[in-house]
Amino acid sequence: MKYQLIANKLFQKNRSNFAALMESNCIVILCSNDVQHTNADDVMGFAQNADLFYLSGIDQEETILLLYPDAYKKEQKEILFIQKTDANIKIWEGDKLSKEEAGKVSGIDRVECLDDFEKVLQLMAFEADGFYLGHNEHIKRLTNNRETGQDRMIKWCKQKYPLHQYYRAAKITRGLRQLKSTEEIDLIQKAADISVAGFHKVLQSVKPGLMEYELEAELSHAFLKQGALRHSFKPIVASGKNACALHYNTNDGLCKDGEMILMDFGVCYANYNSDTTRCFPVNGKFSERQKEVYRAVLSCLKEGSKLLKPGALSADYEMKMALLVEEQLLTLGLLKKEDIEKQDPEQPLYKKYFMHGTAHHIGLDVHDVGLYSRPFEAGMVLTCEPGIYISEEGIGCRLENDYLLTDSGNVNLTEAMPIEIEDIESLM
């Protein structure tokens, strides 16, 4: 395990909170994610089902979590099923969690072998009235035909127990996971701290003539050296006009003298994520036009982040943020006031230069789960990421921080990452 063991009281508390929101006399079944394969016998690696991790802390494939809070037998209330390990698996794949280790990580007393899942469930299922099953319900999930372990469990359960009631576990976890505990905030902060070190490494390395992927390599080196599990997502290292493509991440362009780089990156530590964006000049000095655009975006970030506060609605926040960007586009000479006055409200002119949302939840997922119809609350962690993209000038600028919302104001978890022009130029 690359990260320090998380105290299992976090997962015990999460399970208790989940159980309090369940219908009575129901069983929860959550499955680990599959290991994704490439070709032949190679794999892409493993990332745990965030809901299963949230409720158990188990970061291993071939795992099932079963919860039955209303079970009349104590030993049936919480059961963890893990893969049976043996000497052959140890030789080829290394150590897997033993039952004792899995119990210590999760705080669950009863740990069984995965092979016994169906038999154990059979003893409990007909005492229960329904099942809570997991499914990826994220609003940004792209639909595809790939069947997951959770999909297979849904299909199997409904075939095996067709007359039970079925409920969505994600409906509960998406509400709980929006509000971060102290332990979770500390883990997000750790991810953010590692990202700061990565940014410093890049600033010390960049110069004209480097390839974008060389800067990505500097990030990877800094992250892995400090115990990150992985990048939160494939980083964007976009020099010059490449920065005007919002999700550019081929990172195969040449960093040219006089251009500005947009770098959108994050760290996954103990399955919790950070997400930050910074811009900096390839040659160490911003041009006057780059400074103008940068200061405009930075102004939007500073003012817009103040709008992220308990009680605010996402839609209202995004509208106000758009107006802040529109004001800066006027100052930059990219829009004219008279044109704005005549614009179609359904097709605002600012969208030519600013076309994305600026706040999303962050936690166990980079775009963490939750409903944006829910007002912001203290304990939520959100990004703020305004941007201005001028394709005709080859300038794309986005700046992004991670904020913890509190009743007494926001806490910038990425405060240590340089963002002022003078600080960036000085470090370079």
For residues 116 and 216, state if they share a domain. no
pLDDT at 277: 98
**Nearest CA to 62 among 160, 162, 152, 191?**
152
Span 364-377, pLDDT tens digits: 999 999 899 999 99
Checking if the pLDDT of 18 tops 60, the result is yes
CATH code, domain with 53: 3.40.350.10
Instruction: Say which residue, 233 or 36, is predicted with more confidence.
Output: 233
CB 75 within 8 A of CB 110: yes
For residues 222 and 330, state if they share a domain. yes
SS3 227: coil
Range from 39-43, 283-287, 294-298 carrying the lowest mean pLDDT = 39-43
Tokens representing residue 80 in the block: 């963890």
Is 396 domain-assigned?
A: yes
pLDDT confidence tier of residue 387, bands split at 50, 70 and 90: very high
Task: Please give the share of the chain, as a percent, with pLDDT higher than 70.
Answer: 98
In this structure, how many other beta carbons lie within 10 angstroms of the beta carbon of residue 138?
15
CATH code, domain with 237: 3.90.230.10
For residues 283 and 209, state if they share a domain. yes
For residues 141 and 253, state if they share a domain. no
Span 42-80, pLDDT tens digits: 788 889 999 999 999 999 999 999 999 999 999 999 999
pLDDT confidence tier of residue 141, bands split at 50, 70 and 90: low
- Alpha carbons 286 and 5: distance in angstroms, whole number: 43
Domain final residue, candidates 133, 148, 176: 176
* Segment (H or E) for 312: none
Is 166 domain-assigned?
A: yes
Q: Which residues constitute the domain of residue 242?
A: 182-427
Domain final residue, candidates 134, 152, 176: 176
Write the DSSP string, 115-168.
Answer: GGHHHHHHHHHTT-SEEEE-----TTPPP-SPPPHHHHHHHHHHHHSTTSEEEE
Is 165 domain-assigned?
A: yes
Is 161 domain-assigned?
A: yes
For residues 112 and 217, state if they share a domain. no
Is 2 domain-assigned?
A: no
Domain final residue, candidates 161, 176, 191: 176
Span 150-207, pLDDT tens digits: 999 999 999 999 999 999 999 999 999 999 999 999 999 999 999 999 999 999 999 9
For residues 189 and 172, state if they share a domain. no
Range from 29-38, 230-239, 335-344 carrying the lowest mean pLDDT = 29-38
pLDDT at 40: 77
Is 45 domain-assigned?
A: yes
CB 384 within 8 A of CB 401: yes
> Rg of the chain over CA atoms, in angstroms?
24
Q: Please, which residues bridge with residue 260 across strands?
A: 281
pLDDT at 95: 80
- Alpha carbons 104 and 13: distance in angstroms, whole number: 15
For residues 153 and 169, state if they share a domain. yes
For residues 318 and 242, state if they share a domain. yes
pLDDT at 142: 53
**Nearest CA to 49 among 151, 131, 118?**
151
Long-range contacts of 317-322 (CB under 8 A, 24+ apart): 317/358, 317/359, 317/376, 318/357, 318/358, 318/359, 321/358, 321/359, 321/386, 322/348, 322/350, 322/354
Average pLDDT for 336-346: 94
Is 3 domain-assigned?
A: no
Give how many domains the chain has, as a whole number. Answer: 2
Q: Please, which residues bridge with residue 403 across strands?
A: 382, 412
For residues 206 and 350, state if they share a domain. yes
Checking if the pLDDT of 279 tops 60, the result is yes
Is 381 domain-assigned?
A: yes
pLDDT confidence tier of residue 140, bands split at 50, 70 and 90: low
* Complete edge-to-edge strand list for the sheet that includes strand 272-273: 230-231, 267-269, 272-273
Checking if the pLDDT of 143 tops 60, the result is no
Span 246-267, pLDDT tens digits: 999 999 999 999 999 999 999 9
pLDDT confidence tier of residue 144, bands split at 50, 70 and 90: low
Checking if the pLDDT of 390 tops 80, the result is yes
For residues 209 and 339, state if they share a domain. yes
Span 290-331, pLDDT tens digits: 999 999 999 999 999 999 999 999 999 999 999 999 999 999
Q: Please, which residues bridge with residue 133 across strands?
A: 29, 168
For residues 267 and 399, state if they share a domain. yes
pLDDT at 37: 81
For residues 156 and 190, state if they share a domain. no
